[in-house]
């Protein structure tokens, strides 16, 4: 149990909050109201399974890199507290939970599950060869709203793709901010990222641009699925939070990156879900 708890801490299971609200939001949009509760339950299992599998795979693949980085060397694998075999057992269990949940949802979700796993696993390798790795992370998390829509509507809807595109640019922008902490490490070890290629100041400007694009996609969402003033109020609040996030992170002061990355972005996903749910059921 101690090792399981260490793995759950290591993969930050609580940070499923980043993608899960977008999945729930998409499910409500697909149902035009409250989706069947059994669907919501299996979407929840699928989300925790997929994210746990993706994070466990990333920790196994990056164990040697994490051991060299002062910020990550105390993680369960580099520190030796958890063995690679134990991590692989957890990974297999997470994959099993995800695929089983997809099978319980509908045949389309089951058919798409291997492709979804391929995308989320592939992300772990991208930092080794492209500074666009941030967008691959965004692509991986964008599967949450697209998959949730497929679970409820048994199809891939245009509105879910629009939410997915918003997630791509949101994640790319916030991952660039987070990657600024490893700017020097990435340069020294031949890893690729926006900060490594463009420097801290220009990378933070790119991050701001990508978050502005995210807001544009959110504003365009009512063109694909009718939404009203409650939703638009949520978008305005989201834009304000993003503006504040960028105001507290500067190239010469990265001390508040964790606050910007975790607290504020977790609030964004939860708030957007709340406003979409209220709008769709009212």
Average pLDDT over every residue of 120-148 = 95
Task: Please say if the pLDDT value at position 71 is more than 70.
Answer: yes
The DSSP code sequence of the chain is: -HHHHHHHHHTTGGGGGGTHHHHHHHHHHHHTSPPPHHHHHHHHHHHHHHHHHHHHHHHHHTHHHHHH-TTTTTSHHHHTSS-HHHHHHHHHHHHHHHHHHHHHH-HHHHHHHHHHHHHHHHHHHHTTT-TTHHHHHHHHHHHHHHHHHHHHHSS--HHHHHHHHHHHHHHHHHHHHHHGGGHHHHHHHT---HHHHH-HHHHHHHHHHHHHHHHHHHHHGGGTS---HHHHHHHHHHHHHHHHHHHS-BTTB-TTHHIIIIIIHHHHHHHHHHHHHHHHH-
Task: Please say if the pLDDT value at position 36 is more than 90.
Answer: yes
Q: Which of 137, 224, 118 is nearest to 176 (CA)?
A: 137
Please report the domains of the chain, with CATH numbers, ordered by start residue: 2-281 (1.10.357.140)
Q: What is the pLDDT of residues 43-58, one digit of tens each?
A: 999 999 999 999 999 9
Query: Which string of b and e fits 227-263 if b means at least 16 CB within 10 Å?
Result: beeebbebbebbbebbeebbeebeeeebeebeebbbe
Task: Please say if the pLDDT value at position 260 is more than 70.
Answer: no
Half-sphere exposure of 269 (CA within 13 A, CB side): 26
Average pLDDT over every residue of 169-177 = 94
Average pLDDT over every residue of 121-128 = 94
Token pair belonging to 246: 């960028």
Tell me how far apart the alpha carbons of residues 246 and 110 are, in angstroms, rounded to a whole number: 39
Q: Which of 87, 115, 90 is nearest to 102 (CA)?
A: 115
Half-sphere exposure of 242 (CA within 13 A, CB side): 27
Q: What is the pLDDT of residues 238-256, one digit of tens each?
A: 999 999 989 888 888 877 7
Q: How far is residue 186 CA from its own chain's centroid?
A: 22
- pLDDT value at position 259? 60
Average pLDDT over every residue of 141-167 = 96
- pLDDT value at position 204? 95
Backbone angles phi, psi at 243, to 5 degrees: -60, -45
- pLDDT value at position 176? 94
Task: Please say if the pLDDT value at position 261 is more than 70.
Answer: no
């Amino acid at each position: 149990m101690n090792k399981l708890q260490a793995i759950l801490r290591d993969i930050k299971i609580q940070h499923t909050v980043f993608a899960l609200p977008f999945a729930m939001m998409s499910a409500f949009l697909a149902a035009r109201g409250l989706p069947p509760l059994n669907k919501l339950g299996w979407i929840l299992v699928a989300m925790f399974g997929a994210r746990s599998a993706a994070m466990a795979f990333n920790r196994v693949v990056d164990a040697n890199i994490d051991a060299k980085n002062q910020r990550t060397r105390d993680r369960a694998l580099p520190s030796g507290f958890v063995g690679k075999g134990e991590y692989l057992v957890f990974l297999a269990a997470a994959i099993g939970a995800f695929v089983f949940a997809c099978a319980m949802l509908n045949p389309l979700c089951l058919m798409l599950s291997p492709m979804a796993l391929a995308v989320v696993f592939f992300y772990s390798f991208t930092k080794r060869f492209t500074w666009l790795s941030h967008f691959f992370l965004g692509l991986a998390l964008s599967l949450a709203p697209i998959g949730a829509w497929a679970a409820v509507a048994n199809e891939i809807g245009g509105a879910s793709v629009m939410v997915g595109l918003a997630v791509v640019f949101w994640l790319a922008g916030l991952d660039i901010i987070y990657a600024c902490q490893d700017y020097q490490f990435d340069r020294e070890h031949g890893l690729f990222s926006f900060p490594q290629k463009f420097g801290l100041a220009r990378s933070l400007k790119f991050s701001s641009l990508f978050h502005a694009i995210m807001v544009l996609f959110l504003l365009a969402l009512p063109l694909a699925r009718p939404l009203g003033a409650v939703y638009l109020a949520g978008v305005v609040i989201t834009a304000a939070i993003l503006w504040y996030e960028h105001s507290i992170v500067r190239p010469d002061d990265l001390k508040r990156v964790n606050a910007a990355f975790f607290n504020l972005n977790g609030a964004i996903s939860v708030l957007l879900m709340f406003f979409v749910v209220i709008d769709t059921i009212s």
